[in-house]
C-alpha cells in the first residue's frame, strides 16, 4: 500500500439509491473523486446533495449501489479502523471516561494494556484534555466532546479521518478554535481528511480542495483547489474572491429549484 501511484481513496462512478416502502430515492449519482494521501478535502453542498452519503460509503456504513469506492486500490469492505469517523453528535460512549473512550479502539483491536495507556496519554495531551481524562461525556462541553471524538479516531491509527459536519452543533467561537486546532493536527500528523460541511467559509478556510455538490439527485458539480496560503485570513480580499465565486456557483445550482 506504499505504492505512490495508487491514491488513498478512489471514488469511481459511485451511486447510491435508497429504497424504503417501495419508493426509491437517488441520493448520489455518478460521483468521481480521487484523494491523495495527506489531502484535506471538503465536501460542500446544501442538504440532500449526497455529501453525507458519500462520506458514509467511504466509512463503510453504506454500500454503494453503483460504481465502487476504493482505498489503496481495494474495495472498502465495511467500517474499520483505517477510516475513522467524527460525527456531528459526537457518538461518544457515555458510560466510558474520556480516557476509556479514546482507548476503545486500541482495546477492541487487542493491543496490550501498557501500549494502550501510552497511546491514550499521548492523544489526551494532543487535544489538551489532561484535566478531564477521568470525566464522563455528560460532564464535557460540546467542543471538548468533539476533541475526544477526534482523539479517539487518531488513537486508533486511522489513515483517513471522515468528519460529518463535526463543528455544526458548536457555537461560533468554539468552532473557529477547533478549526484552527484541526488544521494544526492535520499538519503535524499528515492525515487525510474528508470533511463534510454546508458552510462555504469553513470549506475555504480548511480545504486543499473543495468538492462542490448539488442536490436532486446528489452529485459532484465541480472541484476547486484553494490556492490560498495558510493560515488563511477570512477577511482578506483573496479569501472573499473565492467565497464569492463558490457562493455564486452554489446558488446557481439552487436557482432552478427555488423558482
Partner 1 sequence: MSTGAEAGALPLAAGSLPAGAAAPPARRAGPGLARLRAAGLALLIPAGLGLVWHLATVGRPYSLIPPPAEVWTELRDLAFGGINDDAFSGTLWAHLAASLARVYGGFALAAAAALPLGLLIGRVPVVRALLDPTLQILRPIPVTAWLPLAMILFGLGPRSAYFLVFLGAFYPILVNTVFGVRSVEPRLFEAAAMLGCTGTAQFARVVLPAALPSIFTGLRLGLGFAWVVIVVGEMTGVQTGLGAIIMEARQLSRTEIVICGMAVIGVAGFVSDWIVMRIGRSLLAWSPSHG
Question: Which parts of this chain interact with partner 1 (CB under 8 A)?
Answer: 59-61, 78-81, 83-85, 87, 89, 91-96, 104-105, 108-109, 126-132, 134-144, 147, 152-153, 156, 171, 173-174, 177, 181, 184-185
Question: Please, which residue, 48 or 143, has the CB nearer to partner 1?
Answer: 143
Minimum CB separation of residue 21 from partner 1 in Å reads: 19
Minimum CB separation of residue 177 from partner 1 in Å reads: 6
Minimum CB separation of residue 137 from partner 1 in Å reads: 8
Minimum CB separation of residue 20 from partner 1 in Å reads: 15
Minimum CB separation of residue 61 from partner 1 in Å reads: 6
Question: Please, which residue, 81 or 217, has the CB nearer to partner 1?
Answer: 81
Question: Please, which residue, 87 or 239, has the CB nearer to partner 1?
Answer: 87
Question: DSSP states of the chain as a string?
Answer: ---TTS-SEEEEEEEEEEEETTEEEEEEEEEEEEE-TT-EEEEE--TTSSHHHHHHHHHTSS--SEEEEEETTEE--S--TTEEEE-TT----TTS-HHHHHHHHHHHTT--HHHHHHHHHHHHHHTT-GGGTT--GGGS-HHHHHHHHHHHHHTTT-SEEEEESTTTTS-HHHHHHHHHHHHHHHHHHT-EEEEEES-HHHHHHH-SEEEEEETTTTEEEEEEE--PPSSP-TTSHHHHHHHHHHHHHHHHHHHHHH-
Question: Please, which residue, 179 or 214, has the CB nearer to partner 1?
Answer: 179
Question: Please, which residue, 156 or 214, has the CB nearer to partner 1?
Answer: 156
Amino acid at each position: 500500500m506504499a505504492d505512490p501511484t495508487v491514491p488513498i481513496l478512489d471514488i469511481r462512478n459511485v451511486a447510491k439509491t435508497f429504497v424504503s416502502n417501495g419508493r426509491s430515492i437517488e441520493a448520489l449519482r455518478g460521483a468521481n473523486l480521487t484523494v491523495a494521501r495527506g489531502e484535506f478535502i471538503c465536501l460542500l453542498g446544501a442538504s440532500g446533495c449526497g455529501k453525507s452519503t458519500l462520506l458514509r460509503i467511504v466509512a463503510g456504513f453504506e454500500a454503494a449501489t453503483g460504481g465502487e469506492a476504493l482505498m489503496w486500490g481495494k474495495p472498502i469492505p465495511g467500517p474499520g479502523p483505517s477510516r475513522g469517523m467524527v460525527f456531528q453528535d459526537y457518538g461518544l460512549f457515555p458510560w466510558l471516561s474520556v480516557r476509556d473512550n479514546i482507548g476503545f479502539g486500541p482495546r477492541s483491536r487487542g493491543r496490550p494494556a501498557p501500549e494502550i495507556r501510552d497511546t491514550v496519554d499521548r492523544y489526551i495531551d494532543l487535544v489538551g484534555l489532561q484535566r478531564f481524562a477521568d470525566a464522563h461525556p455528560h460532564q464535557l462541553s460540546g467542543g471538548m466532546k468533539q476533541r475526544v471524538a477526534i482523539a479517539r479516531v487518531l488513537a486508533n491509527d486511522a489513515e483517513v479521518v471522515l468528519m460529518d459536519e463535526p463543528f455544526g452543533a458548536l457555537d461560533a467561537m468554539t468552532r473557529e478554535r477547533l478549526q484552527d486546532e484541526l488544521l494544526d493536527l492535520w499538519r503535524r500528523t499528515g492525515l487525510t481528511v474528508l470533511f463534510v460541511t454546508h458552510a462555504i467559509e469553513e470549506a475555504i478556510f480548511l480545504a486543499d480542495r473543495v468538492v462542490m455538490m448539488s442536490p436532486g439527485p446528489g452529485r459532484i458539480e465541480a472541484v476547486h483547489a484553494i490556492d490560498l496560503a495558510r493560515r488563511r485570513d477570512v477577511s482578506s480580499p483573496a479569501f472573499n474572491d473565492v467565497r464569492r465565486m463558490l457562493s455564486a456557483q452554489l446558488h446557481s445550482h439552487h436557482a432552478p429549484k427555488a423558482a
